[in-house]
Amino acid sequence: MADVTLPIHIIKGRGAATQLPHRFEKDTRSAYDDGWGTLEDAAVDAPRLATQLLFEDARSVISRNDSPAL
């Protein structure tokens, strides 16, 4: 069966576009076309998501925790 690849630009600007396995990885994953058409839907160019900036007025840079559980 041929490997199914999705274009990297689908999630451009939203974290890692690929997740390459490292040498300690025990699991392997591959895209599989099960006939539901989900791979074709994922390959369609999705609209770019707008970046949101949220401003927060912090009371302090230092955080303290006096809990006896720690």
User: Looking at residue 22, what is its pLDDT?
Assistant: 81
Across the chain, mean pLDDT equals 73
> The domain containing residue 30 runs over which residues?
1-70
C-alpha distances in angstroms, 52 versus 15, 17, 37, 49, 55?
15, 20, 32, 9, 10
Q: pTM for the complete prediction?
A: 0.27
pLDDT in tens, 31-46: 777 777 776 666 666 6
Tokens encoding 19: 């997740």
Distance CA 7, CA 17 (A): 9
Total number of domains constituting the chain = 1
Stretch among 2-16, 20-34, 42-56 having the lowest mean pLDDT:
2-16
Helix, strand, coil proportions of the chain in percent (round to 5)? 15, 0, 85
